[in-house]
Every structure is written in C-alpha cells, then in structure tokens.
Structure 1
C-alpha cells in the first residue's frame, strides 16, 4: 500500500450534481494514473437552506463555501477543489482568507486550451447569463489570442438557452439529462458555431453530466469537469502566495501590546488600508506574571504562553511576536513544540546593535529583575560580542518600582515617580560609560522613547527599544524584504545587516 501524498477536498453543495461529477472524474483519473500515488479525496456537502442558484453574489452561498473550506482544512485537507464557476467569481476573497490552496478551475481550462489547441481564436462558452455577465472568462481568455463568445438571449426570452437547459423546470440540475434540455444545449452550440466559435467549453459544471449527449459537433467540445479533475491531480499549477500574517502574543502587558501594534502600523509603508500588514492578536492578560515566576516562585506561565502561541498557529500566523522581554525566558521551552517560528526580540536586538555599532563593547540594560536573573539578554549579547551592564542594586529597585509600583507604568502612569525612577537608573548607566542602553521591558518605551538621551552631566546614550526593533523586523519579514525564518531557523548575517539599516537611524555619537 502506497502512502497518502496529497489530500484533496471537494466542496460539494454549491452545484450538487456538478460537484459530484468532478469528484467522480477525479477518482477515475486517479485510478488510471500509473505513478502509484495514493490520493486522499474528501467530498463534503451540506444543504444550503434556500435556493440561491440564481444569485451568484449571495452572501449565504459565499459563507457556505468558506465554512466548508474551513471544515475540510480541519480534517487535514491540503488542497481545495472548487467545482463551481459561480464560486470562482469570488475566488480571491476565499484565497485571501483561507490558509490552504484552492485550485483555480478557469486557470486550468485556460492552460488546457493553450496547450491542446494552439491555433484556436474564438472560444464559445456554454454558460449561464450571470456567469457571462460577470466577465469571469474574460479575466483569463480575453487577450489578443482569444475572443470569448457567449450564447445569445433569444428575442422574447429572459435567459439564454444554456441557462434554460440547466436551471429550467425540466433542466439538467433537476436530473433531466435528455429531451428538451439537450435540445436547448445543442441549439446553443449551433448558435456559437454559427458565430465563428472554433472551440466550445462547458462553463457550468452541471454540463459535465451531459457533454457526451451533445456530440458530435463540428468543433471540439471541452468538458471543463474532466480538465479540472486532471489539472488538480497533475499539480502543475503554481502555489499561490498567501498574505503574510504576523501573530502577536498580547496581554503581556496590555499597554505594551497596543504600543507594539502601533509600531507595526507606523513602520509599514502604506497609502491605503490594504497596504498594511495582517495581524492576529491573541490578547491574554491572564498569562501568569513572568517576573514573579522567575524570581518569586510564582505560577509558571509556560502552558499559557504555549496555548496562546498555538491559537496563533491555528490562525495561520506565519511568525509569532511576543512584545514582552521577560516572556522570552520561556521561548526556548515552547519553540520546539510549535510549527511557527517565534521571532526572538532579544536576539534580534542584540544582532542589530552589533551590526549598527561595530566597535561597541558594553551595553546597558534596563529590565525587570526577572529578565536580568534569567540571563535572557546576557546570552544573545554575549553571542554578539557585547557585555551586559545592569543598574546598581538601589537603582534596580527603582526600575522595578517604575514598572510594578503603585504609581508605575503597569498601573497606567507615565509621569511623576515612575519617570523619575527610570530616568535615575538610565543616568546611572550612562555615568558608568554606557553609550547604548536597551529598554528591556516593553513598558519602558512608554516612559523613555527610543533615540538619543543626554544625562545631567552631559553624557549621551542611544536608547534602543526592542519592541520598535521587533516591529520593524516583522514588517521586513511580512513585506518580503528579508526572508522569514523557519520554525527552527535564524536570520543570516546579511539579513541582520539589512534589517539593522532599516531599523535604526544614524546615531549622533561615536561608539568607540
């Protein structure tokens, strides 16, 4: 027995008979294959509560198709087969909001005609009035090579003969595959050939059930269902690039999450809403406090962090950002169990500082006691050839008060005592010669923004905001400016250098 290499899901219900015919022809084509590949083909269909066959833009139809695709995805399907020309009217909307591949039926027809019938110019489409009016086929065939022809509506009629043959009271959709429905279809074929059609295509999947009853004809007749089934199985279509999505572990803390999102927006070049980056935020303020866990034996946040990341993974995030410095003490625990990479804010920061300040040696760190104790910054800084410098004990107490105190930034304060405390700690590091200081708690940029800062004694330091750096790196990944990391990969030195140039401006001091 051969292993299952691919898994296809056929969306039934939106054109019940046509979908079943495509499913049957996929099974038939797969059985005839000599490559020995065993396929998993799932057919899923649910009743649509009302008749929407005459309304290609029905919200009910669209949401039905979308929900069915999600159901197929949850069952492990990797590729969706959409055997309905009506559904292809909003194919891009579906693709934009689905994580799995949806194979384009009209694209497959276009490729087939170009390959098998290179001299064809006029293509007659046997389809309904609504599909003809939608311009669906013109998107693919209307170019200097092809002229698209549709069945005409006879005088005194409300619809063309294909529409009548398929959707009429005694039409194909009702199970009538002989008699008047076939006569109407043959008349439609004759009309298209009289207007110069060199080739006829079935433009409704229901016609795949009766195509053999329409032949012989003076021109080739292409069964779209058969072509689509073979196109799906051959897998020669190009995979579509899905819109990149950044997943954000939110709530650690809530204000820092909002700040990070603002930085994503601010650092994205855009002239309209649609130019901005797709974000998926799982705001979970109930994740146990990271610092308390590390220094005071508090509740372990590992499971909560992992569960939040898994929700982002389930939401098709391409990367995960955690705008919380201390939470990175737990990243190495959970990353091996995730299929989506966490962009390590601390590593990115260390890499950027090394690339931006080639001669830099010592780096100041303003962070929670838990962050310092966990050595989560010390390790990437050391790897980058940098030495971590932290505030003296008395000033570190003031840092903690500025963050966690009753009038600290986590309590919603951004002026007064918290500002005085953090400024004193910052000045203390500057007096010790630190020319670069990392704002190593995501709330601290709410007090001291990234950029140049001068002490009372005239010393100058560059304050580095890891959330700003992380936001810019995520933007670069999402825009394809640098390649996003794999689940266990890391950026290359060239990636880091390019990201560094984007993520900082020229500093106003020498890093000697």
Structure 2
C-alpha cells in the first residue's frame, strides 16, 4: 500500500520524506496524519512530498518479547528504505522503536538519512523536562531488554519501568487479541496502559516517555486522565520538518569489473587487501565485483574485429554503479582501449590504470627512461599506453615481431597464463621478451597485461642476464590508487 500527500503549490525546494509502514499500520498512519497537519507543513505545503509505503511483513503480529528476532524486520526496513533512496527521496521516517535498536546498522548501508526517532525524543525532553527528573517508560519487553532508553537518557535522568504485573498486562493490551495494535483503543486495553502509567507514577515518574508508537493512539485519552505522557508521533513529525536529512555518506565502495581475466581479478583484489593498512576486518575497503568472463575478448576485437566488448563492459559498469560503487576499477590493460567511450555515459569514474601507471613511473623514475611494454598485441596495437606515455613525455618500446609472438603465447598458449600456468614455458618466454626489451634500452618494464604479474612480481630492481630493470605492475598501481581514493573519500572516518 502506498499513500501520497503532496501540495500543488510550487516552491523552490521540495523535501521528499518516505514513511516506512507495515510495522504497526495504525501507528504509522497516525504519524502520517500528524506529519501532514504539522505547523511547518501547513505553513509551506508546497515544500513537502510525503510517501507512506507499506508492504506485507510476515512478523508484524509477533509480540516484541525480550527474545524477539529482528532479522526479518531488519530486512523489511532495509528494503523499503532502499526503495525510497532509489526513488530520490531525501530522508526516511521509521515509526517503530524496536527498529530503532538497529537504525544505525541500516543507515550504514544507505545514502539517505533514516531520521532518528530517539534523537527527536531526546531533543524534545531536553527542552521540556528538568535534568534529574524521574522518567517513566512505556515500552515493549524487547526495547526494555535492549536498553535503548538507558543509552539516551540515563546520563541525565532516572529511568523507571512498570512493575512486572503491569508490564505483562501492558504487553497483552498492545499485542494481544483485540489489543491496541488491532485498533481496540478503549476498554480493557486502554485501562491496562493506564495502570502501567500509574505504576510509573508510583515510582516517582512525573513524565511518561513512549517506547511504543502505538501509545500515540491513546495518548489524548491518557492525558485527559492526568497522565503526563508524550506523543511520539507528534514529536517525530515536528522533528522531521526541522531536520535537513543529510546523512553521513556510506563508506567508500570500490566497483570491480572482473572476469577480464578471472585470475587477474582475484589477484587485483588480493593486492587491494594486502596494501590497505587495516588493523581489523572492518577497516578494509568495501568492494562490489561482477566477475563476468563472458565479456568478449578485447584483444580479438582489436586485432581481428571480432565481437565488440563495449556493450558488455558498459552494462557491467552500470550494474556496479547501481550497486553503489564510488569508483570502478578494471584490472585489464587491453580493456582500457574501450574506457574512453564508456566513461562519458557513467556517473562514477573509472580509475584509469594506464594513466596511473605512467604517472607513477614519472614520479618514481623521472621522464628520462625508455619504457618497455610487455602486453597483448591488442594493447600494443591500440596505442593506449603509447598515448598515455606521450602525454607524460615518455618513450614506449615494444618487442619485435618474434618476441611479441612469445608474449602472446605466454598469455594465450596451451601452457599459458590464461590456461592456469605460472611456471615453465610461459615464464621462460616472458623472460626472453623482457631481456630483448632491456637490450633495446628499456630501464623500466611495464607488465602491461594483468596476467603477467601472476608470473613476474612488481620489483624496482630485477636482474635478467646482466640487466637490471624495474618491473612495474599496473594492477599494484591501480590498487594503490583505489586505496588512496578511499582514504580521501568524505565518508572515510580515519586514515586507512
């Protein structure tokens, strides 16, 4: 069920708020009503767009006893919040105290704010209640067990709950057959809530805090009986019109276009992990990977005009973008011949491994060295490294025809790297091609196919038959750049 409220008046800034329904239909509907009739909304109706969204939630009728499982509730809340985010809403309202025990977990995975109902209540209490006052709390067994109110109020106030007998009657009045949650707002259920309030007053409570959103449904009746109980839906509605709804951004997420080739993808991910200075699991970088080996061969397209991989690469990048990637890495040198035509159609940047590699070489060795390139014939023919090097003032040397054939055999041959080999013939062929480039004058060799670092390591001083040469692994450079981006991202809470 979806309910919308929107004014036809036009203002310059529209605030779009989503309300998660289904966790308590009547209480959610009451919040929607109080939001629509709040002073801020009535004074500037054209500014607000509200959407109350309710889907079937199988555990909605289960009582929130102390051992209640939150798993289904968490997933339900996340899915509804995510739909609001994808629809361009500014913030989400979550009218359920039990769900606010895990609100922070949900917020970590979203790019829009889930407005904190406990923050709304805390702010209101700080304005109307003197410190050290005894506060009574009407809450479910689950919320009591979680200590939600202690975390927010115990520092400045004394917290009391109904006695066991009154608490048991309260749970039945809220969640039992013909209870308040089912719309029975008078008679026995109301009397049970009133008796719970009297239990709190007997313990010295002068103000009753709501820990159940359903309490708002009977709040007026309790107030008529002289109970100083707060209306959480009214408080939350007023809070929502004041908050900007700008959350802390979710942690940096790296998207990886994988499968080009499969082993190189795993190698790249390992390098990101290995080079991230993390002290525990949670300090590593989030990564979302689509391992898509069905992307047509890049070299075959460049050399023999076989199937164009652009569409498959673009579709993969769009899926990574939709998954929340802040940047995309492609651990395939040859694939970078297609990056320029894809990038203009994406909202997030592709980290250009070739450009980063050339810039790293200039910073490390200066612009005076000749650079040898060990790469697929597709990469060589596309001139992508040559163009990047030319802009940086470097000269690229490539192997002669016979040696280039060795490189291709080392990568694609029956005993080549793509076939799963990293020793034997493929390594011997690469070393011969590397020695050939050294003899041509190369002082630095780019391992310009992501399979090559599976055989030869990134090394600043590698000995080959009397030649000392630096081996530069672009996937290592790419990993280091992605780590740097994560460190600089506004969502980063520490230096990685």
Q: TM-score, normalised by structure 2?
A: 0.89
Which residue of structure 1 aligns with residue 216 of structure 2? Answer: 208
Which residue of structure 2 aligns with residue 289 of structure 1? Answer: 297
1:16-61 deviation per Cα after TM superposition (whole angstroms, max 9, x unaligned): 1111112222222377354565333222212333532335424333
- Identify the match of residue 34 of structure 2 among 20, 25, 41: 25
TM-superposed deviation, 1:258: 1.0
Which residue of structure 2 aligns with residue 141 of structure 1? Answer: 153
TM-superposed deviation, 1:323: 0.6
- Identify the match of residue 287 of structure 2 among 263, 269, 279: 279
Secondary structure at 2:255's aligned position in 1? strand
- Identify the match of residue 165 of structure 1 among 173, 177, 180: 173
Distance 1:52 1:281, change over 3 A: same
- Identify the match of residue 54 of structure 1 among 61, 64, 68: 64
- Identify the match of residue 197 of structure 1 among 205, 209, 234: 205
Secondary structure at 2:148's aligned position in 1? coil
Q: TM-score, normalised by structure 1?
A: 0.86
TM-superposed deviation, 1:312: 0.9
Q: Distance in 1 between matches of 2:229 and 2:323?
A: 43
Q: Distance in 2 between matches of 1:119 and 1:37?
A: 39
Pairs within 5 Å for 1:174-253: 174-216=182-224, 220-236=228-244, 239-253=247-261
Q: Distance in 2 between matches of 1:379 and 1:112?
A: 62
Q: Is the 8 A contact 1:247 1:312 kept in 2?
A: yes
Distance 1:303 1:193, change over 3 A: same
1:369-413 deviation per Cα after TM superposition (whole angstroms, max 9, x unaligned): 221222222233333333322223332222222112222211222
1:156-211 deviation per Cα after TM superposition (whole angstroms, max 9, x unaligned): x6x34542432243431121222233333333333323323343221111111221
Which residue of structure 2 aligns with residue 306 of structure 1? Answer: 314
Q: Distance in 2 between matches of 1:384 and 1:150?
A: 71
Q: Distance in 1 between matches of 2:127 and 2:367?
A: 60
Which residue of structure 1 aligns with residue 108 of structure 2? Answer: 96
Which residue of structure 1 aligns with residue 161 of structure 2? Answer: 150
Aligned residues: 481
Which residue of structure 2 aligns with residue 492 of structure 1? Answer: none
Which residue of structure 1 aligns with residue 467 of structure 2? Answer: 459
Q: Is the 8 A contact 1:44 1:72 kept in 2?
A: no
Following TM superposition, the consecutive aligned residue runs of length 4 or more in structure 1 with deviations greater than 6 angstroms are none
Secondary structure at 2:29's aligned position in 1? helix
Secondary structure at 1:214's aligned position in 2? helix
Q: Distance in 2 between matches of 1:281 and 1:373?
A: 29
Q: Structure 2: which 5+ runs fail to align?
A: 1-8
Distance 1:413 1:28, change over 3 A: same
**Is 1:66 matched with 2:66?**
no
Pairs within 5 Å for 1:414-425: 414-425=422-433
TM-superposed deviation, 1:76: 3.8
Distance 1:437 1:454, change over 3 A: same
Secondary structure at 2:403's aligned position in 1? helix
Which residue of structure 2 aligns with residue 85 of structure 1? Answer: 97
Which residue of structure 2 aligns with residue 2 of structure 1? Answer: 10
Q: Distance in 2 between matches of 1:207 and 1:259?
A: 56
Secondary structure at 2:14's aligned position in 1? strand
Q: Is the 8 A contact 2:446 2:472 kept in 1?
A: yes
Q: Structure 1: which 5+ runs fail to align?
A: 486-498, 503-512
Pairs within 5 Å for 1:11-22: 11-22=20-31
Distance 1:450 1:278, change over 3 A: same
Distance 1:454 1:470, change over 3 A: closer
1:207-253 deviation per Cα after TM superposition (whole angstroms, max 9, x unaligned): 11221111157785322112222222322455133132211111000
Q: Distance in 2 between matches of 1:141 and 1:259?
A: 50
Q: Is the 8 A contact 1:120 1:199 kept in 2?
A: no
1:327-351 deviation per Cα after TM superposition (whole angstroms, max 9, x unaligned): 1111111112212221111122222
TM-superposed deviation, 1:309: 0.7
TM-superposed deviation, 1:444: 0.6
Distance 1:464 1:118, change over 3 A: farther
Q: Is the 8 A contact 1:151 1:161 kept in 2?
A: no
- Identify the match of residue 353 of structure 2 among 321, 329, 345: 345
- Identify the match of residue 436 of structure 2 among 421, 428, 447: 428
TM-superposed deviation, 1:321: 0.9
Which residue of structure 2 aligns with residue 506 of structure 1? Answer: none
Secondary structure at 1:200's aligned position in 2? strand
Q: Distance in 2 between matches of 1:61 and 1:468?
A: 42
282-291 or 54-63: bigger deviation: 54-63
Q: Is the 8 A contact 1:349 1:469 kept in 2?
A: yes
Secondary structure at 1:260's aligned position in 2? helix
**Is 1:408 matched with 2:416?**
yes
Q: Distance in 1 between matches of 2:132 and 2:14?
A: 36
Q: Distance in 2 between matches of 1:198 and 1:384?
A: 74
Q: Is the 8 A contact 2:41 2:48 kept in 1?
A: no
- Identify the match of residue 54 of structure 2 among 45, 59, 80: 45
Distance 1:237 1:32, change over 3 A: closer
Distance 1:329 1:41, change over 3 A: same
Distance 1:196 1:303, change over 3 A: same
